[in-house]
Chains A and B, each alone.
Chain A
Amino acid sequence: MTALANPVTLPGSLPGLLRPGSQVFYQGAYGVVVAANPGATQRPLFCRILGGKQRLDLPDLSEVELDLATPEGWDRAVRWLGERLGLPEGRNAPRWHASGYDYVLEADRDITVAATWVCFYPAFYQSIEVDFTSKNPILRIPGLKASTNSYQSAVTGLRTVCLAMADQPPVYARFLEEKQRSSHESV
């Protein structure tokens, strides 16, 4: 992994992002979340070293940041994005990479509904395409790639997409809702 000049982080306030074991920054110090509410609406319990001793804190969610440069932070962010999109959880986190001018999120397993769904995301000012038909469900987000360094590009792209998805209902749930609505209308 190429080191980044500046740490790339995600706010701990993203719903459901933090979980026990997440490595985060808080007040300039680095530590580990040891207990977190799954809905992430409450303060996480956080352990760090302060003055040479371990200290437990209950920081406000807005004060903690997940470090995307650690394997754990990357893994959690990609899983979180997969959860927001309704991709099935596998043993591996979905693969996240920059491909040409697109970003691709690719899950491990088959899912039950086969369709390609394109939806407009105001946060991106464009549509993203979720292809549930392939063996590995794929999310393709066009035109965000800005850097020639593929790791730098992938990690900053991951941050951008996670932030944009934060206030969106899960994609898969929206897809099912639309499908249900259109079947009611046809009856």
Chain B
Amino acid sequence: MSLSKTLPGSIPGLLRPGSPVLWKGEPSIVVPTRSPTSSSTRFLVYCAGQNRVDVAYPKDTVLDIDDTTGFLHAKEWLWRACTTHPAGPQLHWLNAGSGRWFLSNPEAALAFDIATLDPTEALRLACLQKAGL
């Protein structure tokens, strides 16, 4: 996984059960916790290399947005961070040209000015911008 295709796990609310992450450099998956609110301070990950579930801290993890689920979780986070409108089952990240990207569902759309043609990089930059990083 390239680090340029990741987002910091410390962004509040970004990681969810099923998120593909790098935890201390190891590919891992965020798994459900008993308390849904605990993920802001720590959460649990399944680490494939060690074949076990472990406690992870947000600062030690990055979300892999090159993975389709990671990409989906980044889109959902960006939508929730920008609007109270429900995301719906399908969110699309679209390049409209002229350095403009849209995050849209069938009923609403958000616009972002990001000067790249790479959809993953554009989403990464939009999320970082929104998170103030």
Contact = CB atoms under 8 A, between A and B. Distances in A.
Interface of A: 1, 19-23, 30-32, 34-35, 45, 47-49, 52, 54, 56, 71-72, 74-76, 78-79, 91-93, 95-97, 151, 154-155
Given A22-B18, A34-B29, A72 B69 contact: yes
A125 to B, nearest CB: 27
Contact of A47 (B19, B31, B76): B31
Contact of A21 (B20, B88, B94, B106): B20
B17 A23 contact: yes
Contacts of B30: 32
A31 B88 CA distance: 22
Contacts of A93: 68, 72, 90
A34 B31 contact: yes
B32 interface: yes
Is chain A's binding surface mostly helix, strand, loop or mixed? mixed
Contacts, number: 90
Given A21-B18, A23-B18, A92 B92 contact: yes
B92 A47 contact: no
Contacts of B88: 1
B18 A91 contact: no
Chain B interface size range: 20 to 34
Contact of B46 (A47, A78, A92): A47
Given A47-B31, A47-B53, A79 B87 contact: no
Contacts of A54: 31-33, 44, 53
A75 B34 contact: no
B90 A74 contact: yes
Contact of B120 (A22, A91, A95): A91
The 5 tightest CB contacts between A and B, nearest first, are A21-B18, A34-B46, A21-B69, A47-B31, A74-B89
B87 A32 contact: no
A75 B68 contact: yes
B12 interface: no
A64 to B, nearest CB: 14
Interface string B12-44: 000001111000000001111110000000001
A52 B90 contact: no
Contacts of A19: 69
A32 B90 contact: no
B72 A72 contact: yes
